[in-house]
Amino acid sequence: MEAEALGTEQLGARLRELRRRSGLSLRAVARELGISPSAVSQIERGLMRPSVSRLIAYVTAIGVPLADVFDPADVKPVAFAVRRAGEVAPILLSGGITFRRLSPSPTPDVEFFESTYPPLSISNAHGQFLKHDGYEVGTVTAGELTVEFESETVTLGPGDSVTFPCDRPHLIGNRSAEVTAVATWLIVHR
């Protein structure tokens, strides 16, 4: 049984906690993201659900890995861990996209997660390319995902993989009007 997706209010509260722990003000994060302080406040209060790219830009701006969004502040890496299916709530983002952490505990410099893109969903509703820290490796397990770069577009089906530096501007989406796409992602931070 899968855990229920993290609600918008819970996600917002977690982001606010991480921002405060980073020592950055709401206005500083807004400047970094290129949005208004009001928009950051709406995300943190659970009034606005961020897109994939906004979530990644947010955690990048405050200097924490995406994996930190899934755990309370006091969770530490361990030498051996088992986490059963359904024990980690996925994060529900705008467009119905979900992210679910696959690693059983925090792993320094590595993020391992699954993304689910419903039909016609895209990582950034505004169509802007995303850049972030690390090196990305992804494998599609169901449906088709399109990874768009500034100069080329790659469509991946089940079993297909892609790898690229995360600072290469990219946009990920599901162009199918009927089939949900699922992929696993490994992000290694340099």
- The answer for residues whose C-beta is within 8 angstroms of residue 31's C-beta and 6 or more apart is none
- Compute the distance between CA of residue 37 and CA of residue 131 in angstroms, rounded to an integer: 21
Mean local confidence (pLDDT), 72-99: 80
Cα→Cα distances 68→15, 63, 147, 154, 171, Å? 9, 10, 25, 29, 22
pLDDT in tens, 106-138: 788 888 999 999 999 999 877 789 888 889 999
- The answer for residues whose C-beta is within 8 angstroms of residue 114's C-beta and 6 or more apart is 99, 100, 102, 141, 182, 183, 184, 185
- pTM for this structure? 0.83
Mean local confidence (pLDDT), 42-52: 91
pLDDT in tens, 70-80: 776 566 667 78
Domains of the chain: 8-70 (1.10.260.40), 91-188 (2.60.120.10)
